[in-house]
C-alpha cells in the first residue's frame, strides 16, 4: 500500500494573499494560465497578480484556455512561455486551465521537444513548478498528477503520459461565489464521482480510502443545499475541500466505469464533464456487484440506498438524452479498454454498461 501526495495545500480564506511569498518563490518569472473571463470576475486573477507584484516577481498572462483544452492550445501557450523566459506556471480556474498549466510547464521546460512527447514518451522529462488556484469544485487537478487534454486527431480526451504534481495549491472558497449554478452542480458531481469511483475500485485499499471516505463525509454536508439551490458561504469552502480530497483519492486509484463511459458523451454531444459522468454514476452504484460495499458508500454520503442516490442525481442534473447508437459505441469502446475495465473489480458486459445510463 502506498500513500503519496507531494502537493503542498493551503485551504483557507485569503490564502493567495497570505502565502504570496511562497507562491512567488517558485521561480523568477511567472506565466499565469487561465480562461477568458471567470478569473477576472471572481477576483482570483487580481489576487494572484497582486501577490506577485507585492513580491516583485514579474509575470505574463495567457488567458485563452478553452473548455477541454487542446494540445494545439498548449503548444501556443508554450511559445509565449518560452519567449517571455518564464520559469514557473500558475494555473487559475477550473480543470481546463489547471490541466493546461501542467502540460505548458512540461513543454516550456523542454523547448527542443515537439508535442508528441506529451503522449508518446517513456522518458521522465523535467518540468517547471506549477501552482494552482482552483475556482471550480470538480477536477481536484490542483493536487492530481493528471493533465487531460483534447486530442482532436483521436476525437477524445486523455491525460498526458507524464505524472505532474503541482508544487502548491491555494484553495479559497470565495472564488466559487460568482460561479453559475450549472457550473457548481456539474463540477461538484464530478468530485462526487471521483470519490465514489475511487472507493468502489479495484485499486482501493484501507489506506487510500482515507481520502474517498473523508471526501464523501464532506460532500454529504452540502448535498441537500446544493439540490435546493441554497448554498451558504461556508458550503463553498466545503465544496472546494471535497473536490481537492477527491483529487487525492483518484490520484491513488484512478477513476472507473462512469468516467470511461462519459468521455464520448462530452466529446460528441458537448455535455459538460461532470454532467456526463453523473448520468452513469447512479446506475454504477445501483449495479455494483458487491452491494455491501455500495451500501457503505451510501452511508458515508447520507443516502438510504442506491435507488435514492440515483434519483437525487437525476433530479439534480436533469435528463441527458444520448442517442442509442452513441451509447452502443461508447459501451463497446469501454469493453475494448482494458485499462478502464480493470478498475472495476468484477466481470461486466456491454449490456450492463448501457444499463448504467440514465
Place of cell 463525509: 217
How many chain residues are in contact with Fe ion, going by CB under 5 A? 1
CB of 148 to Fe ion, least distance (A): 8
CB of 190 to Fe ion, least distance (A): 4
Site for Fe ion contains 142 (CB under 5 A): no
Give the interface segment with Fe ion, choosing from 39-47, 189-197, 310-318, 329-337 (CB under 5 A).
189-197
Give the interface segment with Fe ion, choosing from 113-121, 186-194, 211-219, 332-340 (CB under 5 A).
186-194
Whether the CB-CB separation of 176 and 236 falls below 8 Å is answered with yes
Q: Which is it for the CA torsion 311, 177, 69, 36, positive or negative?
A: positive
Site string for Fe ion, 242-281 (x = CB under 5 A): ----------------------------------------
CB of 328 to Fe ion, least distance (A): 23
Residues, the chain: 358
- DSSP H or E stretch at residue 10: strand 8-11
Give the interface segment with Fe ion, choosing from 8-16, 183-191, 298-306, 315-323 (CB under 5 A).
183-191
Whether the CB-CB separation of 282 and 310 falls below 8 Å is answered with yes
Of 101 and 144, which has the nearer Cβ to Fe ion? 144
Q: How far is residue 290's CA from residue 357's CA, in Å, rounded to a whole number?
A: 19
C-alpha distances (whole Å) from 168 to each of 113, 126, 333 are 26, 17, 36
Q: Among 142, 190, 330, 352, which residue sits at the site for Fe ion (rule: CB under 5 A)?
A: 190
Q: Which residues bind Fe ion (CB under 5 A)?
A: 190
Amino acid at each position: 500500500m502506498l500513500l503519496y501526495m507531494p502537493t503542498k495545500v493551503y485551504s483557507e480564506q485569503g490564502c493567495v494573499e497570505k502565502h504570496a511569498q511562497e507562491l512567488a518563490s517558485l521561480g523568477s518569472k511567472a506565466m499565469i494560465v487561465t480562461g477568458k473571463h471567470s478569473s477576472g470576475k471572481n477576483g482570483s486573477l487580481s489576487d494572484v497578480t497582486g501577490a506577485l507584484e507585492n513580491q516583485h516577481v514579474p509575470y505574463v498572462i495567457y488567458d485563452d484556455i478553452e473548455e477541454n483544452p487542446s494540445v494545439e492550445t498548449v503548444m501556443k501557450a508554450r511559445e509565449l512561455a518560452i519567449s517571455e523566459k518564464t520559469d514557473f506556471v500558475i494555473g487559475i480556474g477550473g480543470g481546463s486551465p489547471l490541466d493546461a498549466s501542467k502540460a505548458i510547464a512540461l513543454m516550456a521546460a523542454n523547448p527542443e521537444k515537439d508535442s508528441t512527447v506529451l503522449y508518446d514518451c517513456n522518458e521522465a522529462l523535467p518540468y517547471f513548478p506549477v501552482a494552482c488556484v482552483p475556482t471550480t469544485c470538480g477536477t481536484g487537478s490542483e493536487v492530481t498528477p493528471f493533465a487531460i487534454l483534447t486530442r482532436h486527431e483521436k476525437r477524445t480526451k486523455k491525460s498526458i503520459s507524464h505524472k505532474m504534481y503541482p508544487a502548491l495549491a491555494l484553495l479559497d472558497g470565495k472564488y466559487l461565489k460568482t460561479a453559475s449554478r450549472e457550473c457548481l452542480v456539474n463540477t461538484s458531481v464530478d468530485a462526487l464521482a471521483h470519490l465514489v469511483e475511487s472507493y468502489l475500485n479495484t485499486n482501493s485499499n484501507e489506506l487510500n480510502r482515507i481520502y474517498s471516505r473523508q471526501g464523501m463525509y464532506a460532500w454529504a454536508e452540502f448535498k441537500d443545499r446544493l439540490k435546493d439551490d441554497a448554498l451558504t458561504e461556508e458550503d463553498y469552502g466545503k465544496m472546494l475541500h471535497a473536490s481537492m480530497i477527491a483529487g487525492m483519492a483518484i490520484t491513488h486509484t484512478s477513476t472507473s466505469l462512469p468516467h470511461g463511459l462519459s468521455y464520448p458523451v462530452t466529446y460528441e454531444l458537448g455535455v459538460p464533464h461532470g454532467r456526463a459522468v453523473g448520468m452513469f454514476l447512479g446506475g454504477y452504484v445501483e449495479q455494483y456487484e458487491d452491494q455491501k460495499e455500495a451500501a457503505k458508500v451510501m452511508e458515508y454520503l447520507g443516502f438510504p440506498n442506491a435507488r435514492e442516490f440515483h434519483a437525487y442525481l437525476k433530479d439534480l442534473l436533469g435528463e441527458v438524452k444520448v442517442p442509442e447508437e452513441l451509447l452502443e459505441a461508447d459501451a463497446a469502446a469501454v469493453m475494448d479498454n482494458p485499462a478502464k475495465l480493470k478498475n472495476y473489480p468484477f466481470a461486466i458486459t456491454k449490456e450492463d454498461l448501457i444499463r448504467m445510463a440514465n
